[in-house]
Amino acid sequence: MRSAGVCVTWLLLALPMSSNGGWLPGSKAKALYPKGESAVMEITPDALREIFEHAGTTKTTTVVEFYAPWCPHCQHYAPVYNRVAEHFTGTPGVVFGAFDCVRFKTVCSANKINGFPTVKAFHVPGEPRSFSSRGVTLKVRKFESWVEWVHDHLDLERRTPAHADGGSASAAQAPDTAVPRWPRSSSPGVFPPQRRLLDAATSLRFGLQYGVFVDGATLDASRLKALLDLLQDLSQMFPGSRVNRDSLGVLHDQVADGKGQLSSEQWDDLLGRWSFGKFSGDFAWSTMCNPRADEVDGSPHVTAGYTCGLWTLFHMLTFSGPRAGLSPGRTMATVRGYVDHFFGCSHCRQHFLQMFDECWGGRCDIGDDRSEESQRALALWLWRAHNTVNSRVAVESAELAASPDSPLVAPELQAWALWPSTELCPACRRTDSGGVVGQ
């Protein structure tokens, strides 16, 4: 077993490359439902308004997925949802659409879409709520379950699922979920610290712009406090130049000057005039966080690098926080506060908070002092947590696509998702179980 000091060195050099913003199975750097390629109809704000207005009078059931392109679960759900739409293409009485909550964030916020993916159905027989703009929220995930739901709730002729009746190849083929997306033996030195810092700053700015207002046009007292706490903490420990931290302090003071009130319009105005250190205002992640950047279709809402840059920021904070004089507990509270209040992927948020609050991996045993031992324990805890998230997301993605012809091999996927790879650091795995070495 390699010492904890060597593992921490690996964290500094390589771990941000494992962030699930562009490499985990199923993730893509292009629109989830590209026009002309997908059976899912991309819905505009005007079309959504029509759905709301006619929910009580139309004879067609409309299913709408509210999604964010950066969300890992949205990325992994897209092939299943598209397959469902293909299966029912041409079937009278049901339509499947999707609404991009990054491109149209104000609409989603006004309709209190506070997690992704959120799937709602409108005009479902026997569901009174669905006859209004509120719709009925659905928790259906797998293809076969969707087929059952449609036939159980709508008066449609039952059909055999596409993979069994010789349907289209695109509908029947399971997504390629087991092909690694990151270069297994690449050198961590390819991506210098400055580029990692740029990715972290880009994701923070993106999160501030698109993650703060997700539940109405004004922030309630708890979310406003959470925003102020986040900006205050980051003004002390954001890595890099002092000018970066000073600019976050300026933004904090501008929000605090609102005397307990902040509207979406005011926030957008503040961000529009705010300069984040020496970083540009563009959402352009490096190829570290978006290795398939050459496939982006040019749309400004394609945001595959967000989660990668965010994980990079979290890892950096485990070092910059203690160095700025903040205790490990304060540093982790900052990370938890961001995930709890401003990270829109519902499943990701729920799992991370559960791990955190249940003291998973010995988190509650980490000393809350500024010793080197406590700093090392903090960095290693987040490393383990990140690897656990990567493994879980990889398996969940494969579970959605699993079929008799494409069985799920969970142990192999779990081992593949861990970072660093065995090629880069053979001593970073336990030989008995393949788990990550802790301390």
Does residue 429 fall inside a structural domain? no
Same domain, 389 and 339: yes
**Domain shared by 290 and 387, yes or no:** yes
Q: Cβ distance 131 to 56 under 8 Å?
A: yes
Residue 18 lies in a domain: no
Residues 340 and 210 reside in one and the same domain: yes
In a domain, 206, yes or no: yes
Q: Could you tell me if residue 198 is inside a domain?
A: yes
**Which of the residue ranges 235-244, 265-274, 306-315, 424-433 would you say has the lowest mean pLDDT?**
424-433
Residues 146 and 292 placed together within one structural domain of the fold? no
- Nearest one of 248, 227, 252, 224 to 238, comparing CA atoms: 248
Q: What is the DSSP string of 326-378?
A: --HHHHHHHHHHHHHHH--BHHHHHHHHHHHHTTGGGGGGS-SS--HHHHHHH
Residue the block writes with tokens 């390589």: 14
Q: For residue range 57-74, what is the model confidence (pLDDT) as tens digits?
A: 888 899 999 998 888 888
What's the CA gap between 75 and 39, in Å, rounded?
16
pLDDT of residue 22 exceeding 50: no
pLDDT of 191 > 60? The answer is: yes
Residue 425 has pLDDT above 90, yes or no: no
Domain around 336: 193-214+280-402
Q: What is the mean pLDDT of residues 117-133?
A: 90
Instruction: Judge whether 6 lies within some domain.
Output: no
Is 391 within 8 Å of 413 (Cβ atoms)? yes
> In this structure, are 338 and 206 located in the same domain?
yes
Closest CA to 181 of 287, 293, 291: 291
pLDDT on residue 69: 87
Higher pLDDT, 310 or 438: 310
DSSP 403: B
What is the Cβ-side half-sphere exposure of residue 224, based on CA atoms within 13 angstroms?
20
> Residue 86 maps to which CATH number?
3.40.30.10
Asked if residue 202 and residue 147 are part of one domain, the reply reads no
Q: Give the residue, 11 or 22, on which the prediction is more confident.
A: 11
pLDDT at 156: 60
Per-residue model confidence (pLDDT) at position 25: 31
Closest alpha carbon to 157 in 91, 84, 58: 91
pLDDT band at 30 (very low <50, low <70, confident <90, very high): low
Q: Is the pLDDT of residue 275 over 60?
A: yes
- pLDDT over 50 (residue 173): no
Asked whether residue 104 is assigned to any structural domain, the reply reads yes
Q: Could you give the C-alpha distances from 320 to 12, 45, 248, 342, 376, in angstroms and in order?
A: 11, 42, 15, 21, 12
Task: Give a yes or no: residue 376 inside a domain.
Answer: yes
Q: Are residues 148 and 197 in the same domain?
A: no
The alpha helices in 211-241, defined as continuous H runs, are: 221-237
DSSP state of 293: G
* Count of domains for the chain: 2
Same-domain check for residues 351 and 202:
yes
Nearest to 342 by CA among 380, 314, 363, 368: 314
Q: In terms of domains, do 208 and 77 share one?
A: no
pLDDT above 50: residue 305: yes
CA distances from 184 to 14, 255, 285, 427 (A): 12, 44, 21, 16
Most confident segment among 215-219, 296-300, 338-342: 338-342
More confident residue, 39 or 114: 39
Mean pLDDT of 131-148: 89
- As a whole-number percent, the residues of the chain with pLDDT over 70 amount to 75
Decide if pLDDT at 20 tops 60: no
pLDDT one-digit tens code per residue, 335-392 = 999 999 999 888 889 999 999 999 999 999 999 988 889 999 999 999 999 988 888 8
Using alpha carbons, select from 319, 346, 388 the residue that is nearest to residue 77: 346
| Angle in degrees, 0-180, between the axes of helices 328-342 and 306-323, rounded to the nearest 10 | 150
Exposed, middle or buried, 365 (CB in 10 Å: 0-12/13-18/19+)? exposed
Q: For residues 186 and 184, what is the distance between their CA atoms, to the nearest angstrom?
A: 6
Based on the fold, state whether residues 315 and 395 are members of the same structural domain.
Answer: yes
Residues 121-146, mean pLDDT to the nearest whole number: 89
**46 in any annotated domain:** yes
